[in-house]
């Protein structure tokens, strides 16, 4: 499907392979001569340390591109004046000049989803009830970004409180998919996915409760990484469903997702659900493909989830995912088909659990201690009016559904049964992962649909989460990589699911896949 | 344990106005009209859970048991940015958070 906007000619493929990478940083960070993506983080680090480029020049190129493309895409809810970022970049250049020790994310431009608290920028969670809210603290993931030298370029758009799969439920604006501006970027981390896709930032943080990092990654042709529940602290992530929420990474290469994950992971005393497990050195796996063996995935057991490649999935998605699976086989992996009979039950179970937990988590928004307040003659009216005016329709509906499911006498029928389904899904996936190294499925049953197409049909919207929710129910890590296009040039992503806390294996396999996959052109959208 | 003959014969369907009252959200009559069918549709769809055979399956509270002892000592700590926190309160006067009167309801 052609974009309705005239796109400027592509300026960016450098004819000379040697100069292409560096020039790419200034123009559009894309691919090396072989079309496999370069790590923007590693390339920037190398250029900064060798003084080939300065942090200021790097920041300027992203700020300029953001300014140029933002009117059409609308990924960001807040972008501080570019001077702020440039000043931080200048300070970094001084450090580099002095030979000071730099963090692994030094000079890296990052977008942060607006449901992750930043004390120096508003954090609205995409809702009017938090309009202009400025948290008095940084989320742990944000503190870690800053401590590692990252430069936060802005806060990205999302479906309100993370509730949605298209970013259309933002109270502020709709974000367009950089591949086709008439289509959704996916959700709820649509702003982060679009920003990475359009190279408005190098990497971005999102959150994933039912697929909200992975599905937009698929729709926007970028890499999406959902860590194991407990790998990254949730302190400062505006809670939607506390047993399901995680903070995740969006990037243009697997290496960048892994480096970003390493920087934000780790035990946090402020999050009782965060794991004390050591964070492996993910970065050591991102070796150049010249160092790969001929069958680098020899012996890797790949389980293809039967229920994800049949009815209800677009044929173009099935075809692209089969292409990815063939490539995995070419690399030496052993394929088998696995079946998860409870697979489709996961979707209603997820929505019962998520709505129920949300109804509890969102009860804190009462207009009294923070956020927007609407007046009332008595306290209850103040609560009712503040919430009635501050929350959008989808959020209200989910709170009401959750309230219903948790009502006295209804617990057995809904919530308890959803938790029982959770056990079935957990056991089924655990079982499959004992016999396989990774499981594979599409990331979404379709490519990006048109803005407005599913907005008024909640069940149609929810159905799009079928590929992703079970992973959240089981708390597992998953990695989404672009693997092809539809006939209309819309990206398709496939999903690899791993064992708990085994992001290392996912990243290693993902990196090898990505660096050797010749799926066609580089995943840079035509808007650039 | 209770048995459910059909998905909605024992349970009352959602009463949107009453739920809104419970959840302390004011919704207009137009919203009630708009939301009710959508909510009913989703709740009917939840009915699949009642049709499933879940005998003797343990409910899972979360994905996995919390890893080890993750409780910190019960010691109060001073928050280092009290002013910023208080500046976010919509109606803060003379070190009180001001709200309208709290009536006794039956």
Which residue stretches of B6-88 are H helix?
Answer: 16-22, 29-46, 48-51, 82-86
Sign of CA dihedral A349, A467, A217, A480: positive
The token pair that represents B58 in the structure block: 């343990």
* Distance (Å, whole) CA A128 – CA A133: 10
pTM equals 0.93
ipTM for this model: 0.89
Distance from CA of A339 to the nearest CA of B (A): 18
Which residue stretches of A312-378 are H helix?
Answer: 315-330, 346-361
Provide CB contacts within 8 A for A57, sequence distance 6+: A26
pLDDT in tens, B53-96: 999 999 998 887 656 567 888 899 899 999 999 999 999 998 89
Q: Specify the DSSP element, H or E, that contains A246.
A: strand A246-251
- For residue A269, the chain B residues in CB contact (below 8 A) are 72
| Domain count along chain B | 1
* Distance (Å, whole) CA A491 – CA A409: 46
Considering only CA atoms, give the Rg of chain B. 23
Omega before A169 within 30 of 0, i.e. cis = no
> How many Cβ contacts (< 8 angstroms) between chains A and B?
190
Q: What pLDDT does A445 receive?
A: 97
Where residue B47 sits, what CATH number does that domain have? 1.10.20
* Distance (Å, whole) CA B63 – CA A296: 32
Q: Do the chains contact at B42 and A380, CB–CB below 8 Å?
A: no
- At A391, phi and psi to the nearest 5? -90, 145
What mean pLDDT is predicted for residues A136-151? Answer: 98
* Distance (Å, whole) CA A505 – CA A507: 5
- For residue B39, the chain A residues in CB contact (below 8 A) are 397, 400-401, 404
* Distance (Å, whole) CA A421 – CA A427: 10
Residue B44's closest chain A neighbor by CA?
Answer: A348
DSSP assigned state of A232: B
Question: Does residue B43 lie within any of the structural domains?
Answer: yes
Within its chain, how far is the Cα of A161 from the centroid? 15
The token pair that represents A94 in the structure block: 């001084």
For residue B13, pLDDT over 60 is answered with yes
Question: Does residue B72 lie within any of the structural domains?
Answer: no
What structural domains does chain A harbor? 40-299+449-484+499-516 (3.90.1300.10)
pLDDT in tens, A222-254: 999 999 999 999 999 999 999 999 999 999 999
Question: Does residue B37 lie within any of the structural domains?
Answer: yes
Question: Does residue B77 lie within any of the structural domains?
Answer: no
Distance from CA of A106 to the nearest CA of B (A): 27
CA-angle at A457, arms to A348 and A454, nearest 5°: 110
Q: Does A399 touch chain B (CB under 8 A)?
A: yes
DSSP per-residue letters across A469-509: HHHHHTT--EEEEEEEE-TTS-EEEEEEE--TT-HHHHHHH
- For residue A137, the chain B residues in CB contact (below 8 A) are 81
B14, B25, B64 ranked by CB distance to A396: nearest? B25
pLDDT in tens, A370-409: 999 999 999 999 999 999 999 999 999 999 999 999 998 8
Distance from CA of B32 to the nearest CA of A (A): 10
List beta partners, residue A36. Answer: none
Count of residues in chain A? 528
Which residue stretches of A243-314 are H helix?
Answer: 254-264
Q: What pLDDT does A33 receive?
A: 55
What mean pLDDT is predicted for residues A54-70? Answer: 97
What mean pLDDT is predicted for residues A432-439? Answer: 98
Question: Does residue B105 lie within any of the structural domains?
Answer: no
Question: Which domain does B20 fall in, by range?
Answer: 1-54
Q: Does A367 touch chain B (CB under 8 A)?
A: yes
- For residue B18, the chain A residues in CB contact (below 8 A) are none
* Interface test with chain A among B19, B26, B39, by most A beta carbons within 10 Å: B26
Question: Does residue B41 lie within any of the structural domains?
Answer: yes
């Amino acid at each position: 499907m052609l974009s309705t906007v005239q796109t400027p000619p592509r300026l960016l493929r450098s004819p000379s392979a040697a100069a292409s990478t560096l020039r790419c940083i200034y123009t559009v960070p894309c691919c090396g001569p072989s079309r496999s993506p370069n790590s923007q983080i590693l390339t920037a680090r190398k250029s900064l340390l060798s003084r080939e480029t300065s942090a200021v020049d790097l920041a300027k190129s992203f700020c300029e591109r953001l300014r140029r493309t933002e009117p059409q895409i609308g990924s960001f809810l807040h972008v501080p004046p570019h001077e702020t970022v440039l000043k931080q970049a200048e300070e970094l250049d001084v450090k580099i000049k002095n030979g000071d020790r730099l963090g692994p994310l030094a000079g890296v431009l990052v977008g942060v989803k607006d449901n992750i608290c930043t004390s120096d920028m508003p954090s609205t969670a995409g809702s009017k009830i938090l309009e202009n809210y400025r948290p008095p603290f940084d989320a742990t993931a944000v503190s870690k970004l800053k401590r590692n030298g990252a430069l936060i370029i802005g806060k990205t758009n999302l479906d309100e409180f993370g509730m949605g799969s298209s970013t259309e439920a933002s109270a502020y604006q709709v974000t367009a998919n950089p591949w086709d501006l008439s289509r959704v970027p996916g959700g709820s981390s649509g702003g982060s996915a679009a920003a990475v896709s359009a190279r408005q930032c190098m990497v971005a943080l999102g959150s994933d409760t039912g697929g909200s990092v992975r599905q937009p990654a698929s729709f926007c042709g970028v890499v999406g990484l959902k860590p194991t529940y407990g790998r990254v602290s949730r302190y400062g992530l505006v809670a939607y469903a506390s047993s399901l929420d995680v903070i995740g990474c969006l990037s243009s290469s697997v290496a960048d997702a892994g480096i970003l994950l390493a920087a934000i992971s780790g035990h946090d005393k402020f999050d009782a659900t965060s794991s004390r497990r050591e964070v492996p050195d993910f970065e050591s796996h991102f070796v150049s493909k010249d160092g790969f063996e001929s069958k680098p995935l020899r012996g890797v057991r790949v389980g293809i989830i039967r229920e994800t490649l049949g009815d209800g999935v677009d044929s173009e998605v099935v075809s692209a995912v089969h292409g990815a699976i063939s490539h995995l086989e070419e690399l030496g992996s052993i394929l088998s088909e696995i079946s998860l009979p409870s697979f489709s039950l996961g979707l209603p179970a997820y929505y019962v659990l998520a709505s129920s937990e949300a109804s509890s988590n969102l009860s804190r928004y009462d207009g009294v201690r923070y956020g927007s307040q609407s007046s009332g003659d008595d306290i209850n009216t103040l609560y009712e009016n503040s919430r009635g005016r501050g929350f959008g329709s989808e959020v209200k509906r989910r709170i009401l559904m959750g309230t219903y499911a948790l009502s006295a006498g209804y617990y057995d029928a809904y919530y308890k049964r959803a938790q029982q389904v959770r056990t079935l899904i957990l056991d089924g996936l655990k079982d499959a992962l004992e016999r396989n190294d990774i499981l594979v499925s599409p990331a979404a049953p379709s490519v990006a649909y048109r803005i407005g197409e599913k907005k008024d049909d909640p069940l149609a919207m929810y159905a799009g989460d079928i590929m992703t929710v079970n992973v959240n129910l089981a708390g597992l890590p998953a990695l989404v990589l672009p693997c092809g296009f539809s006939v209309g040039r819309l990206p398709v992503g496939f999903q690899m699911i791993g064992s708990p806390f085994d992001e290392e294996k996912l990243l290693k396999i993902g990196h090898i896949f990505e660096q050797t996959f010749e799926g066609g052109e580089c995943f840079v959208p035509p808007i650039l | 344990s209770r048995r459910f003959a059909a998905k909605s014969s024992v349970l009352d369907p959602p009463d949107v106005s009453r739920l809104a009252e419970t959840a302390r959200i004011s919704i207009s009559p137009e919203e009630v009209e708009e939301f009710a069918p959508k909510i009913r549709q989703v709740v009917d769809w939840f009915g699949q859970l009642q049709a499933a055979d879940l005998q003797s399956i343990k409910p899972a509270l979360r994905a996995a048991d919390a890893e080890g002892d993750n409780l910190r000592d019960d010691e109060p700590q001073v928050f280092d940015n009290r002013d910023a926190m208080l500046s976010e309160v919509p109606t803060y006067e003379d070190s009180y958070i001001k709200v309208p009167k709290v009536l006794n309801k039956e």
